[in-house]
With several copies, the nearest count.
Chain A
Amino acid sequence: MKKMTYAEGIREAMRKKMQEDPSVLLFGEDVGKFGGCFGVSAGLWEEFGDDRVRDTPISEGAIVGAAVGSAACGLKPIAELMFVDFLTVGMDQLVNQAAKMRYMFGGKINLPMVLRVPSGGGVGAAAQHSQSLEAWVTHVPGLKVVYPSNAQDAYGLLMTAIDDQNPVVFVENKMLYSAKTDVDENELKPIPLGKARIAKDGTDVSIITYGRQVFDALTAAEALAKEGISAEVLDLRSLYPIDKEAIAQSVGKTHKVVLVSEECKRGAYTGDIAAQIAEEYFYDLDAPIKRVGALNTPVAFATDLESYILPNARDIELAVKSLFD
């Protein structure tokens, strides 16, 4: 089977859509000749030129605003923020404009825009360049939120997101960019939003997660298997719409849940999922709903502190085991 990096998955989806559809363009800081801060758009400027792959000034409000305005006028923009942390600067355009326009206008406008936001820690970039902020955007009605964990999904979900008539926040994990994963070339095609993927079948506990933590969950699942615990790993892929059915099925089967994300735990989106399970599938549960996340601190700079703060496979393993004590 072919291997592809996560970054390639994203890049190839952009390339494919730009080849197919002249209304698709990409803009953001240093996405042109520089290829993007993480090299994700490398080569696209060479292929599509200045008009379709545009370097912007450092004006996140204008970047997101330009996506909103150009989508409202019929383009299908892909806007990149260099780090999700800079969402704070373009937040109004995303939350008060993009997310609400269709509703405020009585359904009479389409906003087919994608906002790509590299997220997460692990690169020693400290508090202002390491956040996971998906909880903010999933809380905003009108936004769709996608968070792929591997190249195949990154490709397929981005294909779909670009064509979606609603604003989609496409969260990318910067530690995954260089992660190579298997890709089924026959299946390199759009993946519908709102469909989770069972990354590993299991019967004793459901580890529900997404993004980088899918790999940690799989590592934990392997360790747990050795101790006779069969963990199912559910990769949500799309945070909103969320695959409630897949969650219900898994919980109905295992009766135990561990939710994992890289967000700081307080106020994480995993809390919302846990709350939904505690509200709707309470009687399926036979143990507390565990959550694993980052500590409730900013992400520190020093390597040891950073990895202490962020969640890892061992944390997941311990959380699962605590349910079997």
Chain B
Amino acid sequence: MKITNEQLKDMYLTMLKIRKFEKNAMDKFAEGKIPGFVHLYIGEEACATGACAALRVDDYITSTHRGHGHIIAKGGDLNYMMAELFGKSDGYCKGKGGSMHIADADKGILGANGIVGAGHNIAIGSGLAIKYRKTDQVCVCFFGDASTNQSTFHEGLNLASVWKLPVVFVCENNGYGISVSQKRHQAITDISVRASAYNMPGITIDGNDLFAVHEAVGEAVERARKGQGPTLIECKTYRWRGHFEGDMTVYRPDGELEAWMKKDPIPRVEKYFIENNVMTQDEINKLNAEVDKMIEEANKFAVNSPAPSLESALEDVYSDIVEEGRVR
């Protein structure tokens, strides 16, 4: 996989957008402006970014409860996203979905998902549609380590494999399902070994290495486009925050977070930029400032967007039926 410097800069920009979007979400949650559950992606930015950079607009992704990063990387609009987190009418879902349910069909984003493992089976449906129509699109299915014990992982990978569907399964192994560490939820270390259960290629990579993710996913995407079927890619990574905002992370051993923070994917790319004269520190700083502005914009957009009308609750259950309200 050759990456041009322009592509690299784009990817870096994406990582910044994710990091800063998440920090803002973190703050606004703490301020009580965002209701519900918020699962932040900070620390894992290289996974979504490297993977989605290997995709076209007409490719699909399925995402998870920890979906902001995937959605931004696949081209999701920051304003609509932030407005959705705030539960506003201009949000992606008109305030009906919230953080866990952002989708953008036009960009092939088949939705974040509140059900662990749900994406696996939706992704095979997407792969089936692609294969059926004989286009060369692909679907990337993102999921966490703990979701690989869910029923859907097994069914989805088996079907994708036996039907040779153009699906790339990208596991973000951050070592935990909420409080349960990987070694307590499964007896394996590298999740990619599970690929052999479906006779599909499996590979484990450093999920904090943007280049590695991009290369591995890029190759899998090529195979998929050529009709050679699915691949399982495990990206070892780490989430810096608690499982959701508010989680006190009592289950983490001392020093673990700190060790992983040293592997922060963002400075690694910055270092590469400077060492290889792709960007100067000044340019980097400027880009950071630009992204800060985007986030500020998104924030403003969210704050200024009106709350959804109550009657809107009755719409969108069906395409053709508006439900009855009640007298209050």
Chain A residues in the interface with B (C-beta under 8 A): 25, 29-30, 32-34, 37, 51, 54-59, 61-62, 64-75, 77, 85-86, 88-89, 92-93, 96-97, 101-110, 123-129, 141-142, 144, 165-166, 241, 295-298, 300-305, 308-309, 314-315, 318
Contacts and interface: CB of A to CB of B under 8 A. Distances in A.
Contacts of B326: 295, 315
B125 A92 contact: no
A62 B155 CA distance: 6
A126 B125 contact: no
B79 to A, nearest CB: 14
Contacts of B255: none
Given A58-B149, A75-B128, A128 B110 contact: no
Given A30-B178, A106-B91, A305 B320 contact: no
A72 B122 contact: yes
B151 A124 contact: no
B178 A126 contact: no
Most buried by B among A72, A74, A93: A72
A61 B105 CA distance: 23
A66 B250 contact: no
Given A65-B155, A75-B132, A297-B313, A302 B96 contact: yes
Contact of B120 (A30, A65, A88, A166): A65
B93 A301 contact: yes
17 contacts: A33-B250, A72-B110, A75-B128, A75-B132, A75-B133, A77-B125, A86-B115, A89-B151, A104-B111, A109-B103, A126-B98, A166-B318, A296-B323, A301-B101, A304-B87, A315-B326, A318-B327
Interface string B104-142: 110000110111111011111111111011000000000
A101 to B, nearest CB: 7
B41 interface: no
B88 A105 contact: no
B181 to A, nearest CB: 9
Which residue, of A124, A125, A298, A305, has the highest number of chain B Cβ atoms within 10 A?
A305
Contacts of A33: 179, 250-251
A57 B308 contact: no
Contacts of B123: 69
A295 B325 contact: yes
A302 B95 contact: yes
A106 B310 contact: no
Given A57-B146, A106-B94, A303 B156 contact: no
A96 B115 contact: yes
A275 to B, nearest CB: 15
Contact of B122 (A29, A69, A77, A300): A69
Contact of A165 (B35, B95, B319): B319
B interface, size bucket: 35 or more
B124 A127 contact: no
Contacts of A51: 132
Given A127-B101, A308-B310, A65 B156 contact: yes
Contacts of A302: 35, 87-88, 95-96, 98, 307-308
A55 B115 contact: no
Interface string B242-272: 0000000011000000000000000000000
Nearest to B128: A70
B317 A142 contact: yes
B26 to A, nearest CB: 16
Contact of A65 (B95, B122, B146, B178): B122
B96 A318 contact: no
B158 interface: yes
B71 to A, nearest CB: 12
B97 A303 contact: no
A141 B317 CA distance: 7
Contacts of B177: 29, 57-58
B312 interface: yes
B125 A65 contact: yes
Max chain B Cβ within 10 angstroms of own Cβ: one of A34, A61, A69, A74:
A69
A73 B36 contact: no
B280 interface: no
B92 interface: yes
B93 A104 contact: yes
B310 A68 contact: no
B178 A29 contact: yes
Interface string B58-76: 0010100000000000000
A300 B177 CA distance: 26
A300 B128 contact: no
A106 B159 contact: no
Contacts of B156: 62, 65
A142 B324 CA distance: 14
